[in-house]
């Protein structure tokens, strides 16, 4: 029987990314100077979070979280898992869509979709101006 963790309430289960041992410039860091990593992948979400449309986090999303209230889970020796309250998730990493993925069919449609997307953002309507 395989064990798994199901977060309860407004919580998600996150697998912490590996800490960096080397800077982008190639400098090796000693163990005591390790930069804490607070990014990870969502492994599981609670039913409450999955049903909440106001919280845009799904399984496998990469997130940035505040580790203060994170509860470590010792289930797998090679993975560092944390149960994290959704209020401690501060960002979700997203990628912008590419043209090659069929998001925009042609240049004429692109302008219309953009105007539809931003149409309700401004309370000022400048279409009547000369």
Residue range 54-73, pLDDT digits in tens: 888 999 999 999 988 999 99
Q: 63 with 55: CB under 8 angstroms?
A: no
d(CA 127, CA 130): 8
pTM of the model: 0.61
Region 92-106: mean pLDDT is: 66
CA-to-CA dists, residue 40 to 18, 88, 112, 122, 124, angstroms: 8, 13, 37, 35, 41
Residue-level pLDDT at 14: 94
Residue range 5-26, pLDDT digits in tens: 899 999 999 998 876 666 778 7
Of 24-28, 89-93, 112-116, the range with the lowest mean pLDDT is 112-116
Q: HSE on the CB side for 19, CA within 13 Å?
A: 12
CATH architecture of 11-96: Roll (2.30)
């Amino acid at each position: 029987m395989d064990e798994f963790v199901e977060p309860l309430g407004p919580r998600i289960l996150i697998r912490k990314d590996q800490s960096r041992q080397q800077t982008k410039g190639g400098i090796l860091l000693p163990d005591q100077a390790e930069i804490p990593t607070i990014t990870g992948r969502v492994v599981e979400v609670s039913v409450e979070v999955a049903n909440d449309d106001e919280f845009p986090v799904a399984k496998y999303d990469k997130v940035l979280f505040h580790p203060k209230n994170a509860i470590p889970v010792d289930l797998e020796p090679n993975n560092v898992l944390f149960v994290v309250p959704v209020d401690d998730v501060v960002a979700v990493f997203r990628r912008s869509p590419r043209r090659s993925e069929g998001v925009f069919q042609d240049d004429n449609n692109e302008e219309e979709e953009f105007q539809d997307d931003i149409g309700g953002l401004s309370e000022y309507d400048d279409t009547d101006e000369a």
